[in-house]
Amino acid sequence: MRSHLPNSFSRRHRSFRMIRAFAAIALPPEIRERLVQVQAGLPEGRPVPPENLHLTLVFLGELPEPRLDDVHLAFAGIRAGRFQLTVSGLGLFGSDRPHNLHAALAESAPLRHLQTKLETAARRAGVVLDRRRFVPHVTLARLGRDRSARRRVELAVAQAADFRAGPFEVGFFGLFRSEIGRNAARYTELMRYTLFASQDASPGA
């Protein structure tokens, strides 16, 4: 039996459209609200729309529908336990010219365990993944190339060193489609995968 993805994913349609996809953890409303408050106080940057705030686990890139179907089946076979996460401070990506201002996540072994499982499952499904090191974060704003703004952004990050939100429970992760728009991308959750109570999650899957 094939997957329970929407009909557009089925091999029988033979359309084989390319779909830009990623696996991520959606944020609960109370955490998203806290992050929106942080965005409101940022001195620079183009804020990410509130509905787009998420924690990416694996970016899959552009995949044909049948390959994405295989990824879904691989993800559906993963067993992992629920866990808690805490947002902890802000950070920047890009050394001389920061381009990404984000909320950082406190270190979490269960999160890294889940992310490793997803990477392994995606590769077994035939996806070629970026070898970039996984750094858990929630992007809050995209930054321009203005060097003069660097100091203001760095100061905002330093002032938010004590910022915390959570902990919050992670009970599922999702497979998302990303469609590039003129002003912002649009993300659509295609499938949701439930994480188990810790005593129910077998270590071998």
Which active-site residues does the annotation give? 54, 137
3, two tokens: 């997957």
Cβ atoms of residues 37 and 185 within 8 Å: no
Residue 168, C-beta contacts closer than 8 angstroms, at least 6 positions apart: 27, 28, 30, 31, 84, 85, 86
Cβ atoms of residues 162 and 89 within 8 Å: yes
Q: How many CB atoms lie within 10 A of CB 47?
A: 19
* Closest by CA position to 114, among listed 167, 172, 153: 172
81, two tokens: 């336990």
Residue whose tokens read 């033979």: 14
Determine the number of helices (DSSP H) and then strands (DSSP E) in the chain.
4, 9
* Closest by CA position to 103, among listed 84, 88, 86: 88
Residue whose tokens read 């866990």: 83
